[in-house]
Amino acid sequence: MKKTVLRWGVAFCCVFILKAGVLFAAGTVKEQPPLRRILSVQKRGVINLLTAPGEWGHVFGPEKKNHPKAWPVTYVPRALTYMFYRMGSGANDVFVLPFFVNATKDATPITRRFDMPDYYWEKD
């Protein structure tokens, strides 16, 4: 029993000490002002909303290369899916994320969760 309590105590202290070190290291990074962070997120969202139909052209080349025989069947669903992901990410950036970006310090767009670039013209 004493060994278990001792192990948990040591583990807790190690985690506490490591977390304190990480917190001090994170304080040295220069952050953007809150309004600038919100405006950059909203700018990215507006651009993604306006350019979402560009996924039709962006998906064509890789789809034809990766699926030479099946691309006529797979092209439309993949292009629609990517377009809706981009539109959803843009709507999230414009309407939802500005309220939380300063509290969470996380301005990651939804497209990164699907291994897509921030804008459709960037390379994958």
Furthest-apart CA pair in the chain: how many Å?
A: 67
Same domain as 18, residue 37: no
Same domain as 48, residue 21: no
Helix (H) or strand (E) holding 1: none
Mean pLDDT computed over 48-76: 89
Same domain as 58, residue 4: no
Number of domains in the chain: 2
DSSP summary character for residue 122? S
Mean pLDDT computed over 53-78: 89
Same domain as 90, residue 46: yes
Same domain as 86, residue 39: yes
Per-residue pLDDT tens for 11-43?
655 555 555 555 555 555 577 788 888 888 899
If we measure between CA atoms, which residue out of 61, 62, 56 comes closest to residue 81? 56
Same domain as 38, residue 22: no
Same domain as 101, residue 40: yes
Same domain as 9, residue 53: no
Same domain as 82, residue 111: yes
Rounded-to-integer distance, Cα 17 and Cα 20, Å: 5
Same domain as 79, residue 119: yes
* Predicted pLDDT of residue 61: 86
Same domain as 42, residue 26: no
Q: Which domain holds residue 63?
A: 32-124
Per-residue pLDDT tens for 107-118?
888 888 888 888
Same domain as 62, residue 84: yes
Rounded-to-integer distance, Cα 39 and Cα 101, Å: 11
Helix (H) or strand (E) holding 27: none
